[in-house]
Amino acid sequence: MSPGGEELVRADDLTKSFGSTRAVRGASFGIAAGEIHALCGHNGAGKSTVVKMLSGQETPDSGAIRIGGGVLDLRSRQVAQRSGIALVDQELSVVPSLTVAENLVLGDQRARWLNRRRASGPWLRSLLDNVGLGHVDLDQPLSELGIGERQLIEIARALGQDARLLILDEPTATLSDVESEYVYAAVRAVAAAGRAVLFVSHRLGEVLGLCDRVTVMRDGAVVATTAVADLTIDSLIVQMLGEAPHRSRKRTGREAGKPDEMLSVGGLSVPGRVENFSLGLRPGRVYALAGQLGSGASEVLRATAGLVPAATGDIKVDGVVVRPGHPIAATRAGIVFVSNDRKSEGLFLDKPISWNLLATRLPGVTRWGVLDRQRWSAALTDLVSLCGLDGKRTGDSVRSLSGGNQQKVFVGRGLGRADTRVLLLDDPTRGVDVGGRAAIHRLLRDAADRGMAVLFSSTDLEELLDLADVVVTMHKGVVVRRHDGDVAGSVLLREMTHGAATTAEERR
């Protein structure tokens, strides 16, 4: 594709607000026929909202979307699909209980329910071959496939829609390098057929290696559209960040006298995900694992908490060995883990706030196996105060709370306990608004000040720079670098998206 080719898709002056928050402000860019066009920007830049408007999930407050010169009124994903737009979302929409073939035609309005399997078998087979899944049986239940294979099934389904615009939102985040190469080949084939591709990714290396042009968003607005030939990793980072953010003040925790390590992790490995990870955590400090999806940061936390049976390595809490793959042993050693999915792996949504706060500390609020009302009430009062929750609502269901308050309940469950030594949190402010985020940051800082060792993962530069005393960057399952004290956001972003510098040019 040449940047001067015929423009097939055009976003003109798109705006979108949610309440008082203006998520997108006058965004304009075009994609030519045969072009692979990247959309980049840091978290909160407005990329996801633009994707939702282009795919019919959100309606612009103003502006226009054009394909082939005609203005589209995209009221739903079904309308977008009929208009020739296919989306591979970062949240998988495949159905594990259905077969591979059924997932490939799921949602395709051209597919007839009767006899579609018999009539389209060879065509579906070709879709699988195109994404490197020639070994997969069409009649195989999707539940038997791994997450990477499911992602490829989703991409194959979108390719089969024969769309004029193919949107891929973080399509390789869960894939191995080999699986990613199949995606790249399929995307290049779509572009070679004269269609337009919008490729959204945090992985700047793959953006520069795959795409023709890059549109960068920052704070809801488009700040640049540039040919890849005119970009480097560093110049792209500058476009994404503007001036690199800095911490408002250096935070040193309570490390006077350099206390012994509370948590020691050595040579931790998770097959296919993490290789030879080592880190020591001292009490009174907040540590962060900085990495994009697929970096291995989440797997490190889960493995340290005993939740990955295949994990190997040495884990010690206060010098006492904790065997990997044994969550009960980790809990008894004082390790508390807060998942990045509070709804599926943390909270009892239809149970009261009080139950959720005290669910993991029943021995402390019972006597001889019977609930002690006085102990229960005292523990609940302390936790509600600690978490900044409304004491009058403890009988309400957790489902009735905002996302930020739900997360405070989830985090607060592990606080205020004498036996909690290490607090592990996977993306602790995911899906939380600004107010809730600040409150959770205070909880984690207070936990460190009370002598805990705190380790969290995040992809958010602002959060990393504001909260962490020590930042460890990860890329493709290995540690890139450890940063104690102040570090530039541009340095973190580069390491998170590109790994370690390997050449003199990359190091500049």
Give tens-digit pLDDT for 447-470: 898 889 999 998 878 789 889 999
Higher pLDDT, 183 or 282: 282
Q: What order do you get walking across the sheet with 274-281 strand by strand?
A: 274-281, 263-270, 312-317, 320-321
* pLDDT of the residue at 59: 93
Note the pLDDT tens digit of each residue in 186-224. Answer: 889 889 889 899 999 878 888 999 999 999 999 899 999
Kindly report which listed range (39-48, 139-148, 172-181, 290-299) carries the lowest average pLDDT score.
172-181
Give the span between the Cα atoms of 169 and 296, in whole angstroms.
Answer: 20
How distant, in Å, are the alpha carbons of 7, 31, 87, 262, 325 from that of 162? 18, 17, 12, 56, 45
Give the span between the Cα atoms of 25 and 217, in whole angstroms.
Answer: 10
Give the span between the Cα atoms of 62 and 175, in whole angstroms.
Answer: 36
Give the span between the Cα atoms of 165 and 181, in whole angstroms.
Answer: 21
* pLDDT of the residue at 1: 42
Note the pLDDT tens digit of each residue in 290-310. Answer: 988 778 999 999 999 999 999
* pLDDT of the residue at 435: 60
Kindly report which listed range (64-78, 179-193, 338-352, 426-440) carries the lowest average pLDDT score.
426-440
Note the pLDDT tens digit of each residue in 119-161. Answer: 568 888 888 888 888 888 999 999 888 777 888 888 888 888 8
Nearest in space to 101 (alpha carbons), one of 157, 168, 163: 157
Could you tell me the fold of the domain covering 263-346+419-507?
A: Rossmann fold (3.40.50)
Question: What pairs with residue 474 in β-bridges?
Answer: 479
If you ran DSSP here, which 8-state letter would residue 250 be given? -
Kindly report the number of other CB atoms within 10 A of residue 62's CB atom: 11
Provide the CATH number for the domain formed by 7-88+161-241 in this structure: 3.40.50.300
Give the span between the Cα atoms of 43 and 45, in whole angstroms.
Answer: 6
Give the span between the Cα atoms of 296 and 293, in whole angstroms.
Answer: 8
* pLDDT of the residue at 434: 55
Q: Where are the domains of the chain?
A: 7-88+161-241, 263-346+419-507
If you ran DSSP here, which 8-state letter would residue 196 be given? E
pLDDT above 70 for 98: yes
Question: What pairs with residue 473 in β-bridges?
Answer: 290, 481
* pLDDT of the residue at 466: 86
pLDDT above 60 for 506: no
pTM: 0.64
Give the span between the Cα atoms of 418 and 354, in whole angstroms.
Answer: 19
C-alpha dihedral (332, 338, 340, 345), degrees to nearest 10:
60
Kindly report which listed range (97-101, 181-185, 334-338, 421-425) carries the lowest average pLDDT score.
181-185
Q: Going by DSSP bridges, is the β-strand pair 274-281/62-67 parallel, antiparallel, or unpaired?
A: unpaired
3-state secondary structure of 119: helix
Give the span between the Cα atoms of 210 and 189, in whole angstroms.
Answer: 12
Beta-sheet strands, E only, within 19-112: 21-32, 36-40, 62-67, 70-72, 85-88
Note the pLDDT tens digit of each residue in 349-407. Answer: 788 888 777 777 777 777 887 777 888 888 788 778 777 777 778 878 878 776 677 87
Q: Report angle CA 26, 29, 32 to the nearest 5 degrees.
A: 160
Instruction: Report percent pLDDT > 90 for the chain.
Output: 34
Confidence of residue 505 (pLDDT cuts 50, 70, 90): very low
Half-sphere exposure of 461 (CA within 13 A, CB side): 25
pLDDT above 90 for 269: yes
**Residue 28: what residue type?**
S
The average confidence (pLDDT) of the chain is 83
Confidence of residue 432 (pLDDT cuts 50, 70, 90): low
